[in-house]
Structure 1
Amino acid sequence: MKNLMIRHDCSSLLAVNGCLLLMLSFNSLASSETDYKANGWHVGINLGQSSAKIDGDSIKANLENTGFDVNALNQDRHDQGYKLYAGYKFSSYFVLEAGYFDLGRFSFNANTLPVSNYTGRTGVKGWNLDLVGILPISDSWSVLARVGVTRNDTKTRFSSNGLINTSVNNQDNSYTKHKFGLGVQYDISDAFIVRLEAERYRMDDLVGNDGDVDLYTLGVVYRFGSRQPQPVPTTTPEPLTRVATEQVTQASPVIPEPEVLVLEDVHFNFDTAELNNDTKVMLRRHATTLKANPKARVRIAGYTSASGSAAYNQALSERRAESIKAFLVSEGINANRFKTIGFGQRNPAKYEAKPSALQSDAAKANMRGLFEIIIE
């Protein structure tokens, strides 16, 4: 007897297609930023409401075909559900998550004549592996889409007062299905995220019918290692220091040993090593200071923001350092007094929580050239 049935909703196919299209759009965006591991490992827990689709019409028809009049069919299609998961963010836009879920228990009770006390109950739990695409829409908000496979464990039990033989339908079953979902998330801090998600888990009832269970949850995610250590100054033969622009306004007299000159950092626009007019004015002041201090040698270190690949950023940082050197040489400073080095995106001045936010204060702070002045 077909006792407990869950309908296959054709709209789920449309939802799968929409989810896959959103995944493809994430992939096209991710191609512009490679080799960037934003946050690494994380764990999370989601709690919420689950909802099953019980095919009451089929249950009623089966009972009537066996000689029962069905006065009412009471359904309990909702329960609490949860999921526990761990994940790894392997690019700016993609995460792999694995976890355990429990969708709850669902049941029905048929009010029949003759009185049968006919009841069915089923529960669904299991394991999943998901590919999650995450698209930032602001500094704190992101949308996400997921597609995954599940290993479902279902347990179904039927009972009556003896008028219906239910023992043949009591089964435990395990099988592989798929799932998909959409959601939004909000970054509370570097370490904690809040997620709101809607997911659809495909499942079988135990009489060979396809169906699904929807899970709507609110969750919290903890990211490991999202806070990066403060940059460590590069070791030099003598101490170095940096100050704001207004502290270097005119040529300094020759500074006796072991004092150290003070020069301001130079900042660049995104993805360029070109000097703008304001930067050239600042470097001319630096050139005047260096001319007044002929014993001073300079190491110019170039840096970049976190956006882009490590190899590209390394080359860009070297070009930035060379650009500063070339300008100072053109202002009459001997080239032998300079040494240049590029650090790429290493040792940032500020941690960039979202490398894709190219105009953030952290990104602008990291696109720089640093002066290290040594008095011999």
Structure 2
Amino acid sequence: MKSLTELNSTKVLLVLTSCLSLTMSFSLHAQEQSGYEENGWSMGMNIGKSSANIDSASIQSSLENNGFGVSSIEEDKRNEGYKIYVGYQFGPYLALEGGYFDLGDFKFLANTLPETNFRGKTELKGWNLDLVGILPVTERFSAFARVGVTQNESETRFGSNGLIATGAYNSDDNYTKHKFGVGLQYDLSAAFTIRLEAERYRMDDLVGNIGDLDLYSLGLVYRFGHSTPTYQASAAPEPARYAVAVTEPVMAKEPEVLVLEDVHFNFDTAELNENTKVILRQHVQTLKSNPQARVRIAGYTSASGTAEYNQALSERRAQAIKAFLILEGVEASRFKTVGYGQTNPAEYEANPAILRSDAAKANMRGLFEIIVE
């Protein structure tokens, strides 16, 4: 027959396995829909303070049942702890992490009559496997929660002045428990993340009762293969923020390219808003003043979504601008449209899962080039 502790730990393991299977399927489906790619391996280390619960009432009761009067019990239940781990992230919302932890040692000293100098110490370390759910808040800042199973290795030792035979109570135990925790993390760069965590580990205390051990820690995570990318400059020069009027064609060996102010779209749409129309009407006057100039309209998108979807959306944005300019009286034969999708962004999007970040808004744009020959 399994003990109640073993049955509870087995249930936690089964639930963790089921949750992992379901959330992996959900995360991969969400990634397929959004085009977000943050899969990859990572490693990290946390260091902090640990705090344990010692069942002083059971210790006192045991001593009193053996004829000792207990005046006080001194507890040393705080220590330093650390953990080292590796992980794999399945998209923006889910990760699996496993590693080694050492939560330090915890002691007590019982003051009794007759005087026994009765003392005890237990050390806790072991291995863990955690399922981590991640909630992006901003481009760089996220909250997360974890639940996992642990394989605990504890060493418990007792001592006295000889009035109590302690050798029979010393133990080296290996047992399965569970843990859970919450935390916050901030991406220092594409490769490094800093974490602040609070975790609760289940353990067997000095007298074998189930207790809690808390770890409050600060950590650093390194993600492999996620160095900050360097983007190639756009084929067109950086767009100016004002309209440039071309007074007459410029004769040169190579065509001269002048750039008008770019216009922006709302998320996941090719519809022109009122602010965009105001800017486009200013461009109409520039184009009518230069009837020989040819115009290229380039559409772009943010990084959220699949590459195929973004390519089509960027082409629709370029076509929407062209249609508006034609309605305003510019000849259709003067235009050429092209879509660049999510390539050549105006700004780097650190976290494409944040759909309406400043960087994403900057990339939802249409760019104008007036080609003068």
TM-score, normalized by length of structure 2? 0.77
Distance 1:186 1:269 in 2: 27
The answer to whether the aligner puts 1:318 opposite 2:315 as a matched pair is yes
Q: Secondary structure at the match of 1:128?
A: strand
Asked if structure 2 preserves the Cα contact closer than 8 Å seen for 1:248 and 1:285, the reply is no
Q: Which residue of 2 aligns with 1:355?
A: 352
Distance 2:238 2:186 in 1: 36
Q: Structure 1 counterpart of 2:176, which letter?
A: T
Number of residue pairs matched? 343
- The Cα of 1:316 is off from its aligned counterpart by 1.8
Q: How does 1:1-376 map to 2 (within 5 A)?
A: 34-38=34-38, 40-138=40-138, 141-205=141-205, 208-224=208-224, 225-233=226-234, 240-250=236-246, 252-253=248-249, 255-264=251-260, 265-275=262-272, 276-285=276-285, 287-288=287-288, 291-293=291-293, 296=294, 298=296, 300-330=297-327, 331-335=329-333, 338-341=336-339, 343-371=340-368
- The Cα of 1:266 is off from its aligned counterpart by 3.5
Q: Structure 2 counterpart of 1:53, which letter?
A: N
Judged with a 3 Å threshold, the aligned counterparts in structure 2 of structure 1 residues 96 and 374 are, in CA distance, closer, same or farther, namely farther
TM-score, normalized by length of structure 1? 0.76
- The Cα of 1:53 is off from its aligned counterpart by 0.6
- The Cα of 1:200 is off from its aligned counterpart by 0.4
- Gap regions ≥5 residues in structure 1: 1-19, 235-239
Distance 1:334 1:257 in 2: 26
- The Cα of 1:215 is off from its aligned counterpart by 0.8
Judged with a 3 Å threshold, the aligned counterparts in structure 2 of structure 1 residues 372 and 145 are, in CA distance, closer, same or farther, namely same
Asked if structure 1 preserves the Cα contact closer than 8 Å seen for 2:55 and 2:207, the reply is no
- The Cα of 1:155 is off from its aligned counterpart by 1.5
- The Cα of 1:59 is off from its aligned counterpart by 1.0
Q: Secondary structure at the match of 2:320?
A: helix
Superposed CA offset, 1:302-329 (max 9, x none): 2211234444433322321332343455
Q: Structure 2 counterpart of 1:313, which letter?
A: N
Judged with a 3 Å threshold, the aligned counterparts in structure 2 of structure 1 residues 90 and 375 are, in CA distance, closer, same or farther, namely farther
Asked if structure 1 preserves the Cα contact closer than 8 Å seen for 2:149 and 2:177, the reply is yes
Judged with a 3 Å threshold, the aligned counterparts in structure 2 of structure 1 residues 215 and 317 are, in CA distance, closer, same or farther, namely same
Superposed CA offset, 1:152-204 (max 9, x none): 22111223344433333322222222211122334455554433221101123
Q: Secondary structure at the match of 2:259?
A: coil
Superposed CA offset, 1:104-139 (max 9, x none): 101112233344333221111122222333334456
Q: Aligned residues: percent identity?
A: 54
Query: CA RMSD, aligned part only?
Result: 3.5
Q: Which residue of 2 aligns with 1:13?
A: none
- The Cα of 1:351 is off from its aligned counterpart by 0.9
- The Cα of 1:56 is off from its aligned counterpart by 0.6
- The Cα of 1:350 is off from its aligned counterpart by 1.1
- The Cα of 1:31 is off from its aligned counterpart by 6.0
- The Cα of 1:368 is off from its aligned counterpart by 1.7
- Gap regions ≥5 residues in structure 2: 1-18
Once the two structures are overlaid, the 10-residue window that deviates more, 161-170 or 327-336, is 327-336
Once the two structures are overlaid, the 10-residue window that deviates more, 113-122 or 32-41, is 32-41
Once the two structures are overlaid, the 10-residue window that deviates more, 173-182 or 90-99, is 90-99
